[in-house]
A and B are shown apart, each in its own frame.
Chain A
């Protein structure tokens, strides 16, 4: 019998089945990789195990060492020896490593008068770090100044405080924030734990890590286990196909793919390096085409909108808008050149406190300024016509923006920028958190803007359906550069995943239909 066993776990959210009858078994001294695309149910499964989510009735049992776990009971999971390192490590910057280690476990050792016995605490922390092979960490260092690996190491050390009690360690994408060369140190630590008989559940997007570290692999897709085997029994490319779901019917393309109809060049990145993720990215976007950018987190995809908005500094290379090289980047600077960027994340777009009407018109108020006064009637009329054209519901321009559904809010942000008549539209995760109908509408607006108005569109999305459905070309990013270009019918969901997940090393190449 395995160390950790989950039987038939199901979880339904309102309107969506996240997990259906998932089984997972992790043996002692084994690294079990859990892989799957965004929304496949990985995090839901982890959160059921941690007691954060209560699974549907009829799920279970879940056992650790033959002892049954109660669902929805975080303390129970803790007591059973299951520890979690979440992607957000939950460290307190500004406190020392020692204090952070103590955060989880509660009490300091005190002398009379509640005076902390610092010397003993320091020795303790030192011993604990040494035992984990983390002798390069000083317990007195400020956690806020540590690098990404050290932070992950501190989080692990904290999770393993009472080491003898730890049976299962769950790592949720621990390397997402780590540069490649430092992942090795983390792996060494994981291997030490495994050697002591701890079972490790390792959630990752990076397939090369799975092959490097894991003994077994389980693939989730749409809440179902589609594959589970020893890593040795499967090949990397086959695994990528399993994640993407090869048998899914090709989506209907929203736009005709007239490669020759593309117009003048609107945006070009030429060997662009930034202080964040881009490492020599080159690509160009022309008028009237929809270009998809795909890639895992850290691959540089999200650095493209970020760089245009001035959030990442270009250290090398050139960004051209139209024919001219652009030196100073930022929302107003690129807007002046006819480039509209819709970033991801509601807090970057939602101006709560203003009405839907005011949110729609804020990017360009000039049409309403005439004869020394603000023409509120003209503004209301335009807001209403935007609500109609973009199908934003309810049709109440005076409603506070925060009372709209996610999909309708997103439509407001798309409409906000499209009404400024940009020549190039850059959208980051436009359908994230948007229901199916809303997503279809938004993609339709994008396709229409490109087809009928000659707008060039850059679509940075982790939703492969969107990319495959609407883009004439999809550029797959890996390690900060464009690793592959998929043109036309070659840009299938499956092909995109394969290019994004592939290990490093292959030369840049183009795949044409």
Chain B
């Protein structure tokens, strides 16, 4: 199958605008403008069934449809912050197929009649930001960006904006705050960005990969797009494969059907480097709950819904493969450390909870924890759920709850003391008081 997104694998040097144009480049945008009203574009995207690739899987056309028609100016924010551990798909798209991303952003901007597109790009991608700036200039020179685009009377600018290294700025409302020059603190919703977004104006925030699907949809039509994937999750998805596999990297595959974890890990990924069996899979970087590598899991066709029965989700499809050499309590510690470091600090449960959990995992790592502490971890994580403004506070509970649920024995293996770990809360308290008195 030819790629829809990672087209540089089929067409060398497609990052060059001339090569891109020679291969149907900007055809989607041309058709959108020449043949459709903005509302028709939204209808086509709705019909395509395209879902957001940032992780939530929300239908893109529906999201655009929430934007009020009569409020101006409107904006498009491109989420290129790509900071989920194990995610590196947007980077490859922007590096090797930048015009497809720009074209997608312009189609979105046309559909909602935005006057500017802001590409919020991860700060570490400074080189890519430079290249994108060059690509923007080249597209502008061809009349795709700027005043009166393709004679349509509609004008739109594209700007890149570099993040400063905070994971939370990949959360769409924190991204908007950061774009406005403020601290990256997620906003309370409602109101949603579609009505009150950047600078208080209607804003669509889409992931890079989401946008990269649009040129194909507009050029070939919603039906053509739906030949890939499933009814509920049409199209193709870039799977970021990393961890203990021989061939890590990005793989673009259609949703569902033959696309399974087994195919990704053993066929495309070439199995584990150690040759040891796969123990667990993180399907959505650090944010999704870990999956045990059972046959059932490995053979499930992957789409947005199929991992739900296992208590996890596909998210941005950043698959981190862990083999049998890994103690999952150790892995959870790494992830909790990450969330504790990246919690913005706004909401009590996430700010305090991630820090507390981190300290408990450090105890575990030092061999000082017992079963009571593991119970506490479980309880804190369970209590953090659903109590914060954004999803980070919920995501942070996944490594804890998932690993304890599926790999309880890994915890038992690292418990300290006599390993029985059944000190009662009162005894613990007495010990803590004593420690404090020292």
Q: Do A and B bind each other?
A: no
